[in-house]
Amino acid sequence: MEFNLALQDLVNGILAGGIFAVVALGFSLVWGIMNIINLAHGAYIMLGAYLAYTLFTFWHVDPFVSIPLAFIVLFILGYFIQRYIINFVVRAPILTTFLLTFGLSLLIINIALVVFHGDVKGITTSYTGTNFAVGPVTISWTKLWTLVAALLITGCMQMFLTRTKTGRAIRATSMDIGAAQLSGVNVAHLYAIVYGLGAGLAGAAGVLVSLSYSLQPSMGDPFIIKGFVVCVLGGLGSVQGALIGGILYGILESFGSQWIGTGLQDATALVVLLLVLVVRPRGIIGKAVA
């Protein structure tokens, strides 16, 4: 029985890790490439979740179908926020951008409170709560398809960064911004794209989150902490690092919830985070952009 329980926890952790990977990927790109700890990331996750909720409630659009739209809408929002707000202080000390993104987060959350109100909402589809068994393990269809969607999203981002001209420019700018500028790269435009990608990925993550979590305007805040932990575990700016770190964090959280208690499940991951910072500060993959 103990083995079956541990196996179930392992599967649950892997399934949940897909969400954490997508949550962390956008956060990691912005932090690793632009050196901005984007505290508005949680607010973008919330907007993606509410967009999925609105489309599902009024037009019966399946949340998985709304992922591309959430990405595009949040990408556009993030692009303009970076280009016309954050870009003016992007060279300032990290505390300045830290406070600016914190202010943006508060603004977006308060607007969401006015529009959506503070009551808890949720998305209930025809497949919500359905599952199937594989031996002693029970697998939720929602979480399985969420993991598949997360793998597709991270795979597409990996291809974008490695096989497109813009992706290669992002990688070059991350490695040496001076050389990139000398090569004709418009850094301000590129940074806006990176921040837009981070917001777009947060929006996509919000859609995935909406399938398993309740919705309220402040729902994105806990995911900032999770994203931070995953980034450090996997390595900043790395697609593979976000995926590995997300799955590892999901497993740690799953086992922590089962064996230590739901109140201390985050403490388990934070202890491991501390160990990683001591043993390998660069994370599992290390700072990279591919």
Interval 100-125: pLDDT, tens: 999 999 999 999 999 999 899 999 99
Among 200, 183, 210, which Cα is nearest to 27's? Answer: 200
Query: Residue 89 is encoded by which pair of tokens?
Result: 């202080």
Q: Collapse the DSSP code of 138 into the 3-class scheme (helix H, G, I; strand E, B; otherwise coil) and give the result.
A: strand
The DSSP annotation for 91-134 comes to: TS-HHHHHHHHHHHHHHHHHHHHHHH-SS-B----TTTT-EEEE
236: left (phi over 0), alpha (psi -120 to 50) or beta: beta
Q: Among the listed ranges 17-21, 91-95, 151-155, 271-275, which one has the minimum average pLDDT value?
A: 271-275
The pLDDT tens digits for 8-39 are 999 999 999 999 999 999 999 999 889 899 99
| pLDDT cut 70: percent of the chain above it | 95
The pLDDT tens digits for 177-232 are 887 787 888 889 999 999 999 999 999 999 999 999 999 999 999 899 889 889 88
Q: Which class is 2-126+143-279 in CATH?
A: mainly alpha
Contact call for residues 131 and 138 (beta carbons, < 8 A):
yes
Among 141, 126, 149, which Cα is nearest to 65's? Answer: 149
The answer for residues whose C-beta is within 8 angstroms of residue 180's C-beta and 6 or more apart is 169, 172, 173, 187, 190
Q: Collapse the DSSP code of 148 into the 3-class scheme (helix H, G, I; strand E, B; otherwise coil) and give the result.
A: helix
